Homo-oligomer: A and B are copies of this chain.
Amino acid sequence: MADVNFMTLSSFTSPSLTKTDAARLAGSRDAAETSEGIPPYDLIELLFFAYRDFTADPDTVLSEFDFGRAHHRVLHFVDRNPAIRVTDLLAILRITKQSLGRVLKQLVDEGFIEQRPGPLDRRQRLLHTTEKGHGLARKLAAMQARRIDAAVSALPETGAEVVRRFLFQMIDPDLRPDVGRMLGPAALSRVQGSAGPAAESSEA
């Protein structure tokens, strides 16, 4: 139950917090110090709220299994990358072996993920979702899909393309190739497009 205090929001911005206050204060300070312009607070905060709600739906389902977000991430990437090695999973998630170990063990013990010895390199334990695991992964993805589809459908034609490109550009440049590879050739081309407003830009 991630979302319980919805109704207790006293409306977020209190009566005492008139936008006038904010404007006045921010205004005076901005004038004095803006050497780099005003940050895009709207996008910064929209990212915060959007991401929060984006992850909230799966949380409620996961808690039924006594799983958390960590389990979700592992399950998701294993489901999406069958036969992935533990090492590669660590690189994707950017966590330590120990952190992964705990949640992975639970997922394996409870039959969501299975490990098969690598056919070429027998040191590897290649990870796969079981039917059960795949089912859960799909269920969670479907929840997020519904939210995304709704948001995209409120956009102009090319909206999804633009969003994909934006998000891709938000990724550290040196990691983009890896992410691009992971998304697959189709998505990759969708994500790159002719990325420039003018003609410049940074592809390659």
Contact = CB atoms under 8 A, between A and B. Distances in A.
Interface string A47-66: 11111111010000000000
A170 B147 contact: yes
Contact of A190 (B42, B51, B134): B42
A146 B23 CA distance: 23
Contact of A5 (B11, B23, B91, B164): B91
B91 A39 contact: no
A70 interface: no
Contacts of A160: 40, 43
Given A51-B170, A53-B171, A155-B200, 17 more contacts: A10-B87, A10-B88, A16-B124, A17-B85, A36-B145, A39-B144, A40-B152, A46-B183, A46-B191, A49-B170, A49-B175, A49-B179, A50-B166, A53-B175, A151-B166, A154-B166, A155-B166
Count of this chain's copies in the oligomeric assembly: 2
A-B CB proximity, top 4 nearest: A12-B178, A151-B169, A50-B170, A46-B167
Contacts of A11: 178, 181
A168 interface: yes
Given A50-B171, A170-B50, A14 B44 contact: no
A71 interface: no
Nearest to A34: B138
B42 A164 contact: yes
B13 A81 contact: yes
Contacts of A87: 10, 14
A90 to B, nearest CB: 8
Among the interface residues A43, A138, A190, which one has the most CB atoms of the partner chain B within 10 A? A43
A22 interface: yes
A158 B51 CA distance: 22
